[in-house]
Amino acid sequence: MLQLQTLREDHEKIVVALKKRNLDAAPIIAKILELDQQRRSIQAQLDNTLAESNKLSKEIGMLFKSGKASEANQLKEKTSALKETTKQLGEHLNESAVALQEQLYLVPNIPHESVPAGNSEEDNEEIFNAGQIPKLADDALPHWELAKKYDIIDFELGVKVTGAGFPVYKGKGARLQRALIAYFLDKNTEAGYTEVQLPLMVNEASGYGTGQLPDKEGQMYHVQADNLYLIPTAEVPITNLHRDEMLSESDFPIKYTGYTPCFRREAGSYGAHVRGLNRLHQFDKVEIVRIEHPNHSYDALDDMVQHVKKILGELKLPYRILRLCGGDLGFTAALTYDFEVFSTAQDRWLEISSVSNFETFQANRLKLRFKNSDGKTQLAHTLNGSALALPRVLAGILENGQTDKGIKIPEVLIPYCGFDLID
């Protein structure tokens, strides 16, 4: 959430900056400033009314002490009217504050200056690529066919148990999943991230804190009886570990990693491009999250990108890195780098990681602050990235590793899964 003070002082610059997202923010920002002025006006009236009421109360006390009960009682009638006015103003103030907050939630983050202009994923900027795309046999299969051939993932059984988008991993498929989770966590902890095990449901405050609510409400599974949400990513519970906290500069950097299943409704996702593991309602992901001093957050972002590059280099998967354009940038992000692995059998790139800097956008919602060396309060910067999302990594391993003898397992994973070939 953008800071209200910043909107007051730089609203014209913010409107221009948000045009990079193909958004005309002028009307909503005008509404926010109008509501802010209304709220401040009501607050001033309330403060004046309370001050007058307090003054009269003192006068009444003095009159009673002086034996002027009649005059005191006349003033008491006036204080009764002021109390009613105070009550009404308080109600109006609360309504105004709620309306203001609701409008603030609708404004996305300001794109970083390096974010390219563009309307959609076609306008994203490729900044790096690595790895050799293997040349497969003419009869090479996509991963969903390989999963069936080697009986390692059963999509139909998942439909029976739950529904589409909830696969069942079997035998070497399940062991490979477990191997990838352990490998990713080990790489992250070796890089200084503290591992955490997390709740798989969060409350409404947590959803608002990291920006999934209200923006992604329709994409989240909601347990209405308890008003809890199944997490779409470990980013949500991890970042909320420090909600409503005051940190000190010495606490930085704060680095976490966590494995969780993730749950996304993915409403409206149909077609061949979402077959198999390409898009699921439940999937496994290992996340990295950092809370940083604002002066160091972009160095931290670069470090996270290098970390994910190292993992993909060890897996020997062909991949590229994209800097997302304004039209494809997530609601809460200031800058995002997407990693995509090349699926040789599908002849297309598959997103496997997003690494983002949110600057103060989440911290403002979370009230995640710190005291700087001058004793002043500042908002921290938050960052997160996938290291990594399993489904499309697994799809890449299966499709790019297929041979006439079976599916070769990346060497780095063999100690984790205990086999070098799926046959």
Binding-site positions for L-serine: 233, 264, 287, 384
In angstroms, rounded to a whole number, what is the distance separating the alpha carbons of residues 5 and 378? 13
* Amino acid at position 68, single letter: K
Which residue ranges are tagged as binding site for ATP? 264-266, 351-354
Distances (CA, A) of 196 to 37, 181, 184, 260, 413: 43, 13, 13, 10, 22
Distances (CA, A) of 345 to 81, 134, 215, 317, 389: 78, 10, 35, 13, 20
Which residue ranges are tagged as binding site? 233, 264-266, 287, 351-354, 384
Burial of 401 (0-12, 13-18, 19+ CB in 10 A): buried
Buried b (16+ CB within 10 A) or exposed e, 61-84: eebeeeeeeeebeeeeeebeebee
Buried b (16+ CB within 10 A) or exposed e, 86-105: beebeebbeebbeebeebbe
User: Tokens representing 252?
Assistant: 């930085």
User: Tokens representing 249?
Assistant: 């500069």
- Secondary structure, 3-state, 157-224: HHHHHCCCCCCEECCHHHHHHHHHHHHHHHHHHHCCCEECCCCCEEEHHHHHHHCCCCCCHHHCCEEC
In angstroms, rounded to a whole number, what is the distance separating the alpha carbons of residues 231 and 233? 5
Query: Would the CA dihedral through 33, 34, 39, 43 be positive or negative?
Result: positive
